Amino acid sequence: MEDAPAVKMIGIVKRFPGVVANDHVDFEAKAGEIHALLGENGAGKTTLMNILYGIYRPDEGEIYIRGQKAHIHSPKDAIALGIGMVHQHFHLIPTHTVAENIILGMPGNFFFPLERVRDEIEQLSDRYGLHVDPDAYVWQLSAGEQQRVEIVKALYRNAQILILDEPTTMLTPGEVQELFEVLKCMADEGKTIIFITHKLEEVMEISDRVTVLRRGRVVGSTNTADTSVTELARMMVGEQEWGEIKLPPREKGRVVLEVRNLQALNDKGVMALQGISFTIREGEILGIAGVAGNGQKELVEVITGLRKASSGQVLLDGEDITNCPPGEIIQKGVAHVPEERINMGLAPNMSVLDNLILKHHRREPFSTNLLLNYRYAKQFADERIREFEIITPSKYTPAKLLSGGNIQRLILARETAGHPRLIVAAHPTYGLDVRATDYIRRQLIEQRNRGVAILLISEDLEEIMCMSDRIAVMFEGKIMGIMDAHEADINTIGLMMAGVRPER
Amino acid sequence: MLEFLVEALRAAIPAGTPLLFGTLGEIYVERSGILNLGVEGMMIMGAVTGFSVALTTGNPWLGVLAAAIVGGLLSLIHAFVSITLRGNQVVSGLALTMFGVGLSGLLGRRFIGTPLPAQAKLVGIRIPVLSDLPILGPLFFQFDPLVYISILLVPIMWFILYKTKLGISIRSVGEDPATADAMGVNVFGIRYLCTFIGGVLAGVGGAYLSIVYTPSWIEGMTAGAGWIVIALTIFALWSPLRAILGAYLFGGVKVLQYRLQPLGISPNLLNTLPFILTILVLMAATREVMRRRIGAPSALGLPYSREEK
């Protein structure tokens, strides 16, 4: 079986509640090749590789490693088959040294063979140019160094097939080049490298072959030399048949939200918003396209008061609301459909009723003085449940027991209740099924038609294209361009999402 | 003055020994990510068991062994609730303390006022020449064997924690059980083992009180030693080496209560000293820079289950 591919996955199906993450996916990678797995977030790339690494069990399908049928039930089985995986979020223990992290979980003698580990780390370092200090503590290391530790960890376990999940997201450009050298060196030795990414330029630069996934299905698999950035962008995003949802034309109203030269830091203290400016008028949807992690989250948080802006201004109806407390911003009419719908959008253990009145419970008629008016709240909840077709056993059911689509309906039912001026909707249909997606989109458009300004953040280009009056593309904390929706074409947006400025 | 210092130190070491046993154990428990607030209950059950077995058999070592077993068994209740059932560790630990304090009172009723016969006591060793040295003799060579055992445990437990694969596994499980699990470490096994070790040592600490320190049974005789152990574990920042310093320091404070009382210093005030020191250490240790290096195990008190992401 010398010609058998290193990895062959046939007909892989993986379902999560409400979503098919992998829909009969076939995947093949040979020894000695760098194989890029390309797709938007949510396309099913990571799920597929987590199946290969034994973290998930497939519902259907077979895996062959070097021609042998493999039964991979846990990462342990995968490691035994010579598969290693470097996750997007590193599996390292920060308070341990590099050597301790590498040795963790290895069978063998009771005492810690520090000398041997040092030797082997040094050998690996020399062979691949992976420089790591075995005695350094992981918390002292940069992201790039931590990644090297992860790679050494996999190699130490004799990995022949190495999966890297979005390995360049946290690296500096210099570190990316170093990583690419290492990967090429490993491929030359006959190892298989599977490289998960959504960055087109990286695919062109590093990979020998590329497989494109979209919405859980394989769109195509080709030699990198035979394709182009434009073609890959089209495969990744798709040529969709949108247009069923039509935006009725509207007179332009007054400016509701104005963002002026906004800057903010992310959780790591790095500048995540580098001077963002835009306006949204009454009855207008501004869609923000872009790959997650380019500052969208920070933008939403600054507008809703959850994150401090370091400079710049947010104006609502001409009034400065920059760095106001969230409660005040809510009072002024900003509704928020958050990205993390369960953790941020709900109090999961509380009932549907409680969650529906959550933002309104301090105001009349929901409460008078100290006491809640439950008679009114019940009536309100019944109305909202009926109107938004929320499927729930009763209004007293804990909200966390609802399906994703119904949770989103609940949040929307609450957020639209107070006649907001602005709705900030972050990934409102992410992970929802077709019916729920359609419903949520129609509801948002309904709000727009009533004159509400909407900031729509989504990675789903189809959604952005069919719902927006204007489209902005964000990349690395900047807006690459804002255009009217009817002038926008998918190729331009796809390139801007990858950081390429359109040539005009 | 020198005489006073030597005497105070000499008294501080036996006073700190039950604390040292308990703290060494609790360090392992917490390092594996389990918080066991049942130390007081396990210690006092160890005290009553150790005393009754030593009294009936006339052999102090059998008493210590029985106390170790009882402490270990009690800790398994906590382990089962918090590891297997993933229950609330604070509630389970507090319940264990109340259970132990209550049950020990019941079991020990008939021993109240009974002194331990001479052959059932553990007495100080006598090494010819060395024990008779001035200053050095009383400071180093006159203690009972359990003191030396506890001191010996310090480097051994430190070595295991930092220099062996078992130790790395223990620390990993307490920091990030999901990663440890993914690397093939038996998270449940390690946590059970550490919780058991903690119970055994708490039991021995209790037996030290009733067999060596005050060779008799008094209801509620641990008098909060278990809580000082919890504080000491934090004070020592989860390191066996710092535990010995803390144990003798807090043991010394206990001794000083009686020495300083004639000078008008309230023993109640001194009683609070260990806790005040612990809060100060905790304040220093929670600073961002320090936390990475020597903070509490990240997964302390959090149940682990593989399915939850």
Please write the tens of the pLDDT for every residue from A256-315: 999 999 999 988 788 999 999 999 999 999 999 988 788 999 999 999 999 999 999 999
pLDDT higher than threshold 50 for residue B309 = no
Strand order across the A470-475 sheet: A334-337, A422-426, A453-457, A285-289, A470-475, A478-484
User: Looking at the predicted structure, is the pLDDT value of residue A474 above 70?
Assistant: yes
Cα separation, B30 vs B296, in Å, equals 8
Is A448:A485 a contact under the CB 8 Å cutoff?
A: no
Strands, sheet with A161-165, edge to edge from the N-terminal-most edge strand: A83-86, A161-165, A192-197, A34-38, A209-214, A217-223
Residue showing tokens 């790959």: A291
DSSP state, residue A373: -
Instruction: Provide the CATH topology of domain A7-236.
Output: Rossmann fold (3.40.50)
Residues in chain A with CB shorter than 8 Å from the CB of B171 are 93, 95-96, 100
Distance from CA of A77 to the nearest CA of B (A): 10
Backbone dihedral angles phi then psi of residue A99, each to the nearest 5 degrees = -60, -40
HEC states along B166-228?
HHHHHHHHHHCHHHHHHCCCCHHHHHHHHHHHHHHHHHHHHHHHHHHHCCECCCCCCCCHHHH
**Residue range A54-83: mean pLDDT, rounded:** 91
C-alpha dihedral, B190 to B196 to B201 to B205, nearest 10°: 150
A104 contact residues in B (CB cutoff 8 A) = 168-169, 172, 179-180, 183, 185
pLDDT digits (tens, 9 = 90+) for A16-41: 766 688 999 999 999 999 999 998 76
- Per-residue pLDDT of A352-367, as tens digits, reads 999 999 988 888 888 8
Task: Among A104-113, A366-375, B231-240, name the one with the lowest average pLDDT.
Answer: A104-113
Confidence band (pLDDT; 50, 70, 90) for A244?
low
Residue of B nearest to A97 (CA): B168
Residue B9 belongs to what domain range?
2-294
For B8-63, the pLDDT digits (tens) are 888 999 999 999 999 999 999 999 999 999 999 999 999 999 999 999 999 999 99
Give domain limits for chain A.
7-236, 255-497
Task: Tell whether B164 lies on the interface with A, counting CB pairs under 8 A.
Answer: yes
Measured between CB atoms, which of A55, A79, A110 is closest to B165? Answer: A110
Q: What is the mean pLDDT of chain A?
A: 88
Confidence band of B257 (pLDDT split at 50, 70, 90): confident
- Give, as one character, the DSSP assignment of residue A91: -
Task: Tell me the shortest Cα–Cα distance from B35 to chain A, in angstroms.
Answer: 19
Q: How far apart are CA B277 and CA B253, in angstroms?
A: 11
pLDDT confidence of residue A242: 44
Residues B248-268, mean pLDDT to the nearest whole number: 83
Residue A113 clears pLDDT 50, i.e. is over it: yes
Sign for the CA dihedral angle at A40, A42, A48, A54 comes to positive
Partners of residue A105 in chain B, C-beta under 8 Å: 169, 180, 183-185
Burial class (CB in 10 A: 0-12, 13-18, 19+), A51: buried
Token pair recorded at residue A90:
């590193």
pLDDT tens digit sequence for B78-133:
999 999 999 999 999 999 999 999 999 999 999 988 888 888 888 888 888 888 88
Q: Which residues of A touch B293 (CB under 8 A)?
A: 95, 137, 139
β-strand partners of A262: A276
CB proximity list for B82: less than 8 A, separation 6 or greater: B34, B36, B88, B89, B92, B93, B195, B303
Q: Do A75 and B182 touch (CB under 8 A)?
A: yes
Q: What is the per-residue pLDDT for A245?
A: 64
Instruction: Out of B163, B166, B168, name the one closest to residue A96 (CB).
Output: B168
Which residue of chain B has the CA closest to A139?
Answer: B292
- Asked if residue B309 belongs to a domain, the reply is no
Which of A4-18, A28-42, B287-301 has the lowest average pLDDT?
Answer: B287-301
Number of H helices, E strands in chain B: 13, 0
Token look-up 């797995």 returns: A37
At B265, phi and psi to the nearest 5? -95, 125
Q: Using alpha carbons only, give the angle A38, A42, A45 rounded to the nearest 5 degrees.
A: 40
Alpha-carbon span A345 to B262, nearest angstrom: 63
Do the domain assignments include residue B182? yes
Check if A7-236 and A255-497 are the same fold.
Answer: yes
Whether B289 has its CB under 8 Å from any CB of chain A: the answer is no
Upper half-sphere CA count for residue B171 (Cβ side, 13 Å):
27
Query: What's residue A151's pLDDT?
Result: 92
Provide the percentage of residues in chain B whose pLDDT is more than 70.
95
Q: Is residue B36 part of a domain?
A: yes
Distance between terminal CA atoms of chain B? 61
Predicted TM-score of the model (pTM): 0.77
Give the best residue of B179, B288, B298 to mutate against chain A (max A CB count within 10 A).
B179
Closest CA to A6 of A52, A60, A54: A52
Confidence of residue B288 (pLDDT cuts 50, 70, 90): low
Q: Is residue B299 part of a domain?
A: no
- Can you give the pLDDT at residue A449? 92
Architecture of A255-497 per CATH? 3-Layer(aba) Sandwich (3.40)
pLDDT, tens digit, for every residue of B230-251? 999 998 989 999 999 999 999 9
Chain A interface residues (partner B, CB cutoff 8 A): 55, 75-76, 79, 91-96, 100, 103-112, 137, 139
DSSP reduced 3-state for B81: helix
Q: What is the rounded distance in angstroms from the CA atom of residue A83 to the CA atom of residue A76?
A: 9
Mean pLDDT for A45-51 is 92
Chain B, window 184-203: residues with a beta carbon less than 8 angstroms from a chain A beta carbon: 184-185
| Inter-chain residue contact B185 with A104, CB threshold 8 Å | yes
Distance from CA of A256 to the nearest CA of B (A): 39
pLDDT tens digits for range A450-459: 999 999 998 8
Residue A148 token pair: 């090297």
Between CA A151 and CA A89 the distance in angstroms is 13
A104, B176: Cβ pair inside 8 Å?
no
CA atoms within 13 A on the CB side of A274: 11
Helix (H) or strand (E) holding B69: helix B60-79
User: Interhelix angle for B39-57 vs B89-107, to 10°?
Assistant: 30
The answer to whether residue B22 is domain-embedded is yes
Query: In this complex, which of A92, A107, A111 lies closest to B163 when CB atoms are compared?
Result: A111
| Paired residues of A424 in beta bridges | A336, A455
Tokens 């009771």 belong to residue: A110
Q: Which residue has the higher pLDDT, A493 or B46?
A: B46
Residue A92 is which amino acid? Answer: L
The whole-number pLDDT of residue A409 equals 93
Q: Which CATH number is B205's domain given?
A: 1.10.3470
3-class secondary-structure state, position A192 = strand
Question: Strand, coil or helix: what is A345?
Answer: coil
Q: How far apart are CA B31 and CA B48, in angstroms?
A: 28
In the numeric block, which tokens belong to residue B125? 């060793």
Q: Tokens at residue A492, please?
A: 């331009």
The residue ranking higher by pLDDT, A296 or A370, is A296
Query: In A394-405, which positions are buried (b, 16+ CB within 10 angstroms) versus exposed (e)?
Result: ebeebbeebebb
- Which residues of chain B from 32 to 51 reach within 8 Å of chain A, CB to CB? none
Q: Which helix H or strand E contains A223, and what residues bound it?
A: strand A217-223
Bridge partners for A260 per DSSP: A313
Look at residue B36 in the predicted model and tell me its pLDDT.
96
Distance, in Å, from the CA atom of A105 to the CA atom of A67, rounded to the nearest integer, reads 28
Q: What are the φ and ψ backbone dihedral angles of A368, each rounded to 5 degrees? A: -125, 125
- Cβ-based neighbours of A52, under 8 Å, separated by 6 or more: A7, A9, A63, A72, A78, A83, A85, A163, A194
Tell me which H or E stretch contains A62: strand A60-65
pLDDT, tens digit (0-9, with 9 covering 90-100), for B211-232: 999 899 999 999 889 999 999 9
Count of domains in chain B?
A: 1
Which segment of A261-265, A345-349, A361-365, B202-206 scores lowest on mean pLDDT?
Answer: A361-365
**Bridge partners of A472?**
A288, A482
For residue B48, what are its two tokens?
């009553």
pLDDT at A237: 73
Q: Is residue B143 part of a domain?
A: yes
Per the structure block, which two tokens stand in for B234? 């934090």
Q: Using only C-alpha atoms, what is the Rg of chain B?
A: 19
pLDDT at position B308? 45
**Residue B301 counted as domain residue:** no
**Of A204, A159, A151, A203, nearest in space to A182 by CA:** A151
What does the CA dihedral A264, A270, A274, A276 come to, rounded to 10 degrees? -40
Which of A57, A81, A112, A141 should we substitute to test contact with B (largest number of B Cβ atoms within 10 Å)? A112
ipTM associated with this complex: 0.77
- Rg of chain A, C-alpha, whole Å: 25
Residue from B32, B168, B186 whose CB has the most chain A CBs within 10 Å, to mutate: B168
